[in-house]
Every structure is written in structure tokens, then in C-alpha cells.
A and B are shown apart, each in its own frame.
Chain A
């Protein structure tokens, strides 16, 4: 055993001169680097996002109810490892002198906030300060809107209930912004210690008590079973993992994209390993035969070479891990604004995963080929032709596919996806094999038919003839070297495909993000616009706003029955606690499908062109005055359009009849269509849309979203002109989402570089592997009179044609795969990529042609005697 270790180490040391070993090292290092980098990064991103979500929520866990929390619950949370902060919210009038306004009070304690900082302008002339605390007892912070409405500022006193509190600052951004999003009145933040003095906490007051808990994931896991019980008891609970708000879909995509890119890099490295191993084995056949003739057993032989590669893998793991660590540090730097400053040190797990990935790639992609060395016959020492047969292509590819499938599963955590991709991939490979053979046949035909120089002319002259000759010979050589060319064709096609996919998905991902948040994305919401204010407000918006959405009428209604039964009795058990059942939904009515909405089932026109036009209150003839007679067949029922995800969560389908309680009345509505919509769009979005005019009879207001420069004047003029209209400033949130997307974009680009590097390693390995064959061919061609320049042209033509064909196959593959991927995994609409068909063949020809030409420069310089192995035979 020790002898074997020694022998393997010595062999490896000598081998570092060989290009295949260098290619192997490069490929494995890249595989480990990509895997560890993305592993490290995603690990930290996950934690960062959870923090981010926690910050938006105000804690990792937010419990809310309408009465104070008991000690028992508090101590249970404390025992689980959480730190707690208390938040009390209510709506109340605040006043200053003559002016008064409703305000959304938020009282916080000393532990506030768990995460992040508030941006508060304290009127000291030096702009907004970042403060990781709430207002001190005796003071309040107010929203900018209140500053305008009451004409107050820092230093003034504000009457809150019976207490007079000093205004200490104007809030530009709250540390936990989502906590304020649901409340429409301007914010007043105060300290909980001042609550008793206000006298606002009375029996019967509508007060929201929230307990904000922050703690490690282990604490969340520990408390999980209790959360279920508490939810059943009617406690409203949000946790960062279930209720990650707003940033969700874009980042989930980024997360998946990075995994995908990492996998692509690993796959490419695997292909490179497979190609380099082939050459490695061929180069060592003689050594193996010699060792056999000296009496080495198959086991010893396999052991020596396996050990050699194992050392190589370990070295690559070390190098790759260092690279990966450095890479993720750079990624973090790129994302620094998004992640919390005090990130825990990188865990060991990604490192272990990286090394395991290297070993898996080695075993899966190199193993079967390596077995060939064991089977060498000692007779080969005497007779060259006693080469063992190459490993069966099926075995090689099967083992690689199996390993890749496991890696897919490991990285995506989705066995269905892994299997699907694997089966799809194998079928694609078979298809490619077939298409590739066809392509080569075609190439042979075309090249053979290329015109030749006129007979009798002794030399090939002229640029055109030289070009044609190079194409003819290069193309024929490529096509005739069927098996080897097919292997390379597939490897390059896979490489170009993976590179294209990663680049393409990146582009589409970015443009999808940009489309999601175009430059004119609204930064304000206006609600409570009364019908009589509608025209005036619209006119004012048209004058002041940069862009705006339509004004949607809105009434609030609660689902009280589903198909005549109580909702709790019919919805699935996991939907029992669904907020949509517990609170009033915003209902609108319209004949136009709002922007960004897409009907996925049913018929929108049933809603847009209602049979029933009228719907007034009281005794007028209409469909809802007989609503009590639910069973009556003549009961008019409105055809509504419902948001698809809510419908699916509540177990609702087309044709189900919902009963809404609006004000004091009951309204029946049948689901005529299901819509998807983009919740991240910063546009007014509605779960339920009624037919136009159908709800006109109810007391309603309008809602709209618009973009406006954040300068005070325009906002102030809107607020003063329409005092009862509530403006919600979402600029801060919008900006935050933008920042995150920008940072993720940079991360995505950084990862792309790794994929490209892995692609180059494949090219390098493949061209290295085929070098001896080409050297021999070049030698023979030169003996029969091909000059260096001619040879260079022929080889360039061959490489370029190889790249071109690979590019064509890759384009086809990419087009097919992207369609599947977009629909299945990234949740984007598929699109045709015409540029692929131009760029892939072109860049394939240039890349393979260029690298191939460069790598074979030494071969061309070699004397033909050396190429043919004749030197030394004197």
C-alpha cells in the first residue's frame, strides 16, 4: 500500500508536465471553486435575506392580537432563545393647536428595533440620522405628511390623547417599514412608556398588540409546533420564512439562478474532466502495460492511478476552496449593502460540499474511463495493437449522468426536477448524437463537393483556393474522424449551450426585473379618494405626476360563505388561518383587466361584459336585493375574476359561488375567471374584480398609484387640496427593492464569469485530448507536401467548422431548454431567442477556432519527423 502511495505520488509529480493533467487540475479546481463559492454565497444570502425579511417584519417572528400578551407566552418565547420587543398600534387623533389629523400610532419599547435602523430627520439641520432605536419617552417621531398637514416640526409639541409629547424628528424611513404599510394614516411613533399618560388604552379601544421576537433559526424551529397551536387559537403570526414579504419572487429567482449557474459550472468541469481523463488514460497505457509486465495486478494498477487522481482531486479541492472563498468574499462585497454587517463566519458545510463535488465529478466523469488502465494486457509491451478497448460510451455517460443527477438533486433540493432534467438531458444527448452524426455526414458531403483547383495546376494558389482547400480538407478530416468528432461536438455543444443558457437566462432575468420595476414605477399610493373628488384628483395627478395607474373603485368586503357554506367548513385545513378569510378584502369592479394581470383560467369577458348591469342598494330591482334567498335559482350572481393563488389556497375553482358581506349586505358572486398578477409591481392589485358598475351602489372610494418627484411642493399641494385623501409614500420600499435587484444583478454577473471559465476549461481539455491525433495527421499531411501555412489553414478550418456545428446544436438545445426552464423553474414567460442562432455558431467557430489554433501552434512548428514519432529512430 505504501509502495502504491509512493508510486502514485511520484507519477503525479512527473505528470504535471503533461497538459492533460493540467487540464484535469484546472477543471476540478473550477468545479470546486464554483461549488464552494455558490454554496458559501447562497448560505450567506439565505441568512441575509432572512434578516432582511426580519427587518421588514420587525422581527423573525411577529405575534399579533388585540389584547396584551400574557407572561406565559413571553417566557415561552424567551426560553426558546428569542429576544422580545413590544409594539402597540392604534389609530387616534393627534392635534397641534387648531389642526388635527387621524394618525397611526406605533408605540415601541427600548428593545426596538431588532434589525435595521430608522432614518429620522431631527431638525438639527444635518439631514436624516440613522437611529437604531425608537423615540425616547416623552417624545414622538412623525411622518412627513403630518408635518405638512399640521404644519409642525421638530421641537413642537404634539397632543396625543391626553398627553403632550415633544416632536423629536420626522421619519424618512422606518426600520420596520412593512409594519406601517397596512396602515393608511400618517405615522406617529412614540415610546410605550407614554401610553398610559395618553389615556388611549381603554377597554373597547381597537388596539393591535404585537410581540416582535428575534432569534436564531434553531429558536424558530423549536417554537414551530407552538406556533401552529397559537395560530389555531386565533393568534396572528408572521414568521420570516413563511411570510417573506415583497422582495420574495425576484430573489427566489436569483437564488435559483445562482444554483443553476453553479451546476452549469460543475457540469462543464465534469465534461472537461471526462475529456482530460481520456487523454490521461491513453497516455498511461504504455506505463500500465509495463507495470503489468513487471507483475502488477489489476488491483494494484487501478489503485495506483486512482490514487494519483485522488491526490489531484485533493489538490484541486484545496485550490478550489481557496478560490471559492475568495470568490464569495467578492460576491459579498458586491452585495454588501444588502446583507447585515455582522454576518457569521462562513460555515464548513459548503466546503465539504465542494470537496464532495470534486470527488463525485472525478468518480462519475473519470471513473469508467480510468478502469481501462486496469485492463491493460502485459502483451502490449511487445505488440502495440494490444490496446484495451475504450470504456463503453454508455457506461461513461451513464455514470456521469448518475453523478450529475445526484448533484442536481443536492443543489436544487428537488428530486423531481433532477430526474426530469436528467431524463430530458439524456434524451437531448441522444438527439444530439443523432443530429451530430447527421451534421457530420452533411459536412462531408458539402466539403467533398467544394470546387478544386483546375487540374494540371501544380500548386494551390490564390486566397480563395487556399480557403476552399482548407475547408475541403479540414471539413473532411473532421467528418471522417466520426467518433472522436462526435464526442467533441457534443462536448462543445454542451459547453456553448450551458454558457448560452446562463447568459441568456441572466439577460431575461434582468430584463424581467427591469420590466417589473420600470423607471416610472409608482412611488405613491393614493387611497380614500371620494367619488366627488375623483375628477379633480385625476386632473391634478395628470398635471403633477410623472405616471399613474387608473383610478380603481374600491369597497371592502369579507367572504362569508363559499357555495352557501361557512368558509371554515369548506376550505382546506392549511387555509384555516388564511388572512383573506379573517379580514375584509379590497374589491374593485372594472371592465378592463388591470395592467400586469393575466387570465389563466376561465373567461374574463364574463366579468367585463356582465349580463347584470345594475346593482343598487335597497329595493331597486337588482341582483342583490334577493340575496337572502341564496337557494333561489333566480338569484342574480355576479361573475367575478379572482386571483389564482388565493383561489388555489382556499381550494376554490371556476364556478364556485362566494358570498361577500359588504357593509350590511350580502352579495353573491360566481368565479368566472382566475388571474395571476405581480404583487411586486407597486400597482394597485386586487384579489377580486367585480363586473363594471356592479358595486357602484355601495359606499366606495377610489385608489390609484402614481409616480411623483419626491419634492415636497407637489406632494404638499396634493395633500392640502385633498385633505381626506390618504397618500402612502412607498418610495423607500421601492428604492430598497431596486437596490437589492441591482446588487443581485452584479452577483449574477460575477457568477457568469465562473461559468465562462469552466467553459474554457472544457475547450482546453478537449483540444488537449485530441492533440496527439491532430499531430499525427498534421505530420502525415506535411510529409505529403502540406506547408505550415496550409496546415494552419486546414486546422483552423477544422476547428472553426467544429465550433460552428457545435454552436448550431447548442442553439437548438438552448432554445428547447430555455422554454422548459422558464415555464417550469424560473416562472418567466418563454421567448424565442433569434440572436442565439447567429451568435452561438459564430462564437463557437471563433472560440474553438481561436483556442484550437493557438493550442496547436507548437504542433505545426514541430518537424514532421517529430510529429510522426520518427525522431530517435536513427
Chain B
């Protein structure tokens, strides 16, 4: 294996898809109080374009921390990480942000909509950071696709939890991103609403051919992804998953060498 994640020409999956996300020997240790607490240890992960990968784990396993690292929102204390073929370790905060702009979408457990902006304005926000024309029309279209075409000018507090999360979905997909991170997208929703949101998420993902990294504690939800990895003791282990089409398969998401 190469020592660097980016010096090889390109990693390709079995289906010849490019490697989008590559974590090697990833570590994260936080110092809480006097004793350092190791959250992630020697963690490896490969995500290829178009894949959907679920990371499951118990509360406190470090799922959100991992997601933050993968998205470049936070920095690891050890190991290497590449996004879109670029090593995050070599980029500063701004560089990582630029890497995300227009190419990464996010869905949060607590929605993270700006309370003073309308649904439409919230969806327009990521577009503001990219030179895409016609942001209003685009944002409208995406809101229509998540079924909120009539609620464009509503503020988040005028929307139900499910509706808010659907606005967040539209916001995540509006830039036509390559990769979407979802952090417990149904965590704050009741089962029925959660189911609707998940349906929307997966259908958008399918239509757009987006790569999806989903963090959840819900095994059923995880089962709908191509791959399902369990985060335990700071490391990822492969899960045997059953796809919704009934076909059993193993994941290729873990680096073969570890």
C-alpha cells in the first residue's frame, strides 16, 4: 500500500468508481479533565463514488466525532484522511472549507436551519457560496421535490420537525453535491415522520447518484445502505447487511490491508 493516500493515481472500486473518501489509521483523542480520552483508534475507511455507507454504533461510540472528521469540520490527532483525492491534513481550515463548497451536503440531527431565514432562504444559503446561477429557481425546485413547494416563505419555527428536516434535505442536495453526510437524520423525529424523511433522503440520493455517509444508531436504517459499518471501541468493523432487495453482501468499505 502506498504510504500516502493521494500519491497514487486513483483508487477505483470494483465497479470502477473513484475513491471519494479515504481514512487511514485515523485517531482522535480528546483531553477531558486530566485524562486523555481516545475516541477513535487506527480507524480505516474507504468510500467510493455512488456508495451509501452507514456507520452505526451506540450512543457515545464517537459517531458524530467521526463524521466531523470525515467532513473536515474537525481535525484528527493522528492518521491520514483524504477527501476527493486531496489530503485533508495538508489543508488548513479554509482549504478544507473550499474543498466542501458545492461538493458536500449535510443533514443534521437537529436540522441546523437558521431560524431567521425562510425555508427558501435556508436552501439558498449554500448556493451563495458557490458561483451557481439562478439560485432562487434551483432552491425552489428542490423544495418542491421534498414536497414543500407551498411553504417557501415559512420560517423554521412555522414548520414541523419533519418539514424542517426536509428543508435541510433540500439544502443538502441543492448544490448537486458529490457527497452527503447525514448525522442521525431521524434522531429528532417520530418513527412515521422519520420514515418519510428517510424515504426522501434515499430517493434523492438515488436520483442524484450522490455518495452518502450516514451515521445512525438505527440498525434498520443502516440496513438500507450499501454498506454498514459498526463503530466500536474506536474502530470500524464490517457488518453483514441485508439490502432491501434481499441480497446479502459484504462491504468493501474497509481497507483490505488492515
Interface centre among A453, A457, A870 (most CB of B within 10 A): A870
Check B63 for interface membership: any CB of A closer than 8 A.
Answer: yes
CA distance A871 to B118 in the complex (A): 27
- Range class of the B interface residue count: 35 or more
Distance between Cα atoms of A458 and B103 in the complex (Å): 10
A783 to chain B: which residues have CB within 8 Å? 71, 73, 100, 106, 112
A868–B108 contact, CB under 8 A?
yes
Are A777 and B114 closer than 8 Å at their CB atoms? yes
Instruction: Tell me the nearest residue of chain A to B71, going by C-beta.
Output: A783
Contact indicator A483/B116 (Cβ below 8 Å): yes
A779-795 residues at the B interface, CB under 8 angstroms: 779-790
C-alpha spacing A737/B148, complex, angstroms: 76
A864 to B65, CA, bound (A): 12
Q: Which residues of A contact B132 (CB under 8 A)?
A: 455
Residues of B within 8 A of A6 (CB): none
B94 touches A785 (CB 8 A): no
Q: Give residues 622-677 of A contacting B (CB, 8 Å).
A: none
Cα(A453)–Cα(B108), bound, Å? 29
Q: Within 8 Å CB of A773, what residues of B? A: 116
Judged by a CB distance under 8 angstroms, whether A574 is at the interface is no
Q: Which of the 9-residue segments A76-84, A474-482, A523-531, A694-702 touches chain B?
A: A474-482
Q: Is A473 among interface residues, defined by CB-CB distance under 8 A?
A: yes
A458 in contact with B121 given A484-B116, A785-B126, A787-B98 (CB within 8 Å): no
Are A784 and B100 within 8 A (Cβ)?
A: yes
| Contact status A480-B93, CB under 8 Å | no
Q: Are B102 and A874 in contact (CB under 8 A)?
A: no
Identify which of residues 158-172 in chain B touch chain A, using a CB-to-CB cut-off of 8 Å: none
Q: When the two chains form their complex, are residues A482 and B125 in contact, meaning their CB atoms are under 8 A apart?
A: no
Cα–Cα distance between A868 and B104 once the two chains are bound (Å): 17
How many angstroms between the C-alpha atoms of A453 and B130 in the bound complex? Answer: 8
Contact A784 B101 (CB under 8 A): yes
Cα of A459 to Cα of B101 in the assembled complex, Å: 8
Which residue, of A480, A482, A784, has the highest number of chain B Cβ atoms within 10 A?
Answer: A784
Question: Quick one: given A480-B117, A777-B114, A783-B100, are A460 and B65 in contact (CB under 8 Å)?
Answer: no
Q: Which residue of chain A has the shortest Cβ distance to B98 in the bound complex?
A: A787
Q: Which residues of chain B have C-beta atoms less than 8 A from A779's C-beta?
A: 112
Q: Which residues of B contact A457 (CB under 8 A)?
A: 131
A480 to B156, CA, bound (A): 13
A779 and chain B: residue at smallest CB distance: B112
A829 in the interface (beta carbon within 8 A):
no
Q: Tell me which residues from 133 to 169 in chain B have a Cβ below 8 Å from any Cβ of chain A.
A: 133, 157
Interface string of B44-69 (1 = CB under 8 A from A): 00000000000000001111110010
Residue of A454, A780, A789 touching B114 (CB-CB under 8 A): A780
Contact in complex: A868, B93 (CB < 8 Å):
no
CA distance A480 to B71 in the complex (A): 28
A873 at the interface (CB under 8 A from B): yes
Contact of B128 among A456, A473, A788 (CB under 8 A): A473
Interface string of B76-109 (1 = CB under 8 A from A): 0000000000000000011101111111101011
On whether the beta carbons of A787 and B95 are closer than 8 Å, the reply is: yes
Q: A868: shortest Cβ distance to chain B, in Å? A: 6
Chain B neighbourhood of A472, CB < 8 A: 128
Alpha-carbon gap, A459 to B103, bound state (A): 11
CB-defined contacts of B133 to chain A, threshold 8 Å: 452, 455
Q: Does B129 contact A (CB under 8 A)?
A: yes
Contact (Cβ within 8 A) B71 A786: no
- The minimal Cβ–Cβ distance linking B255 to chain A, given in whole angstroms, is 23
- Once the chains are docked, how many angstroms separate the CA of A460 from the CA of B68? 25
List the A side residues contacting B199 at CB < 8 Å: none
- A785 and B100 contact, CB distance less than 8 A: yes
Q: Does the CB pair B93–A787 fall under 8 Å?
A: yes
CA distance A777 to B125 in the complex (A): 10
Contact among A385, A483, A869, A874 with B157 in the assembled complex (CB-CB below 8 Å): A385
* Interface 1/0 per residue, A441-473 and B, CB below 8 Å: 000000000001111111110000000010011
Query: Is B39 an interface position by the 8 A CB rule?
Result: yes
Determine how close the nearest CB of chain A comes to the CB of B166; give it in whole angstroms: 17
Q: Are A452 and B131 in contact (CB under 8 A)?
A: yes
B74 at the interface (CB under 8 A from A): yes
Q: Are B97 and A780 in contact (CB under 8 A)?
A: no
Q: Does A863 interact with chain B (Cβ within 8 Å)?
A: yes
Asked if A865 is at the interface (CB within 8 A of a chain B CB), the reply is yes
Contacts of B157 in A (CB 8 A): 385
Task: Determine if A22 is an interface residue (Cβ-Cβ < 8 Å).
Answer: no
CB neighbors of B among A834-874 (8 A): 863-865, 868-871, 873-874
Please measure, in the bound complex, the distance between the C-alpha atom of A775 and the C-alpha atom of B97, giving whole angstroms: 16
CB-CB under 8 A for A785 and B129, given A481-B116, A773-B116, A865-B73: yes
Interface centre among B61, B98, B99, B104 (most CB of A within 10 A): B98
CA distance A235 to B128 in the complex (A): 85
Question: Given A483-B116, A874-B61, A785–B68 Cβ distance below 8 Å?
Answer: no
Q: A780-B125, A784-B100, A788-B94 are in contact. Are A482 and B116 (CB under 8 A)?
A: yes
Q: Is the CB of B106 within 8 A of A784?
A: yes
- Knowing A783-B106, A787-B95, A789-B94, the reply to whether A480 touches B116 (Cβ < 8 A) is yes
Nearest chain B CB to A793 CB, angstrom units:
11
Residues in A whose Cβ lies below 8 Å from that of B62: 874
Question: A785 is contacted by which of B63, B101, B110, B118 (Cβ under 8 Å)?
Answer: B101
A691 to B39, CA, bound (A): 102
A173 → chain B, closest Cβ, in Å?
69
CB-CB < 8 A to B103: which residues of A? 785
The smallest C-beta distance from A197 to any residue of chain B, in angstroms, reads 93
**Contact residues, A199-248 vs B (CB, 8 A):** none
Closest to B187 in A: A873
Interface residue A776 (Cβ < 8 Å from any Cβ of B): yes
Q: B158: shortest Cβ distance to chain A, in Å?
A: 12
Contact: B94 with A787, CB < 8 Å?
yes
Report the minimum CB–CB distance from A70 to chain B (whole Å). 83
Contact with A along B162-201 (1 / 0, CB 8 A): 0000000000000100000001000000000000000000
Q: Is A460 a contact of B131 with CB atoms below 8 Å? A: yes
CB contact under 8 A between A476 and B128, given known A783-B100, A865-B68: yes
Distance (whole angstroms) from the CB of B137 to the closest CB of chain A: 13
> Does A453 lie within 8 Å of B97, measured CB to CB?
no
Query: Measured between alpha carbons, how far is A868 from B64 in the docked complex, in Å?
Result: 12
Complex CA distance for A377 and B129, rounded to whole angstroms: 39
- Closest residue of chain B to A457 (Cβ to Cβ) is B131
Q: Report the bound CA distance from A455 to B98 in whole Å.
A: 17
- Chain A contacts for B118, CB-based, 8 A: 480
Q: Given A482-B116, A788-B97, A874-B39, is A865 in contact with B129 using a C-beta cutoff of 8 Å? A: no
Q: How far is the CB of B103 from chain A (nearest CB, A)?
A: 8
Q: Show 6 residue pairs from A and B whose CB-CB distance is below 8 angstroms, ordered by the A residue.
A: A459-B101, A476-B121, A773-B116, A784-B175, A785-B97, A786-B97
13 more A-B contacts (CB under 8 A) besides A481-B116, A785-B126?
A: A455-B133, A483-B116, A781-B125, A781-B129, A783-B100, A786-B129, A788-B97, A863-B93, A864-B73, A865-B68, A868-B112, A874-B61, A874-B65
Give the 4 A-B residue pairs with the shortest CB-CB distance, closest first.
Answer: A785-B101, A787-B94, A453-B131, A784-B126
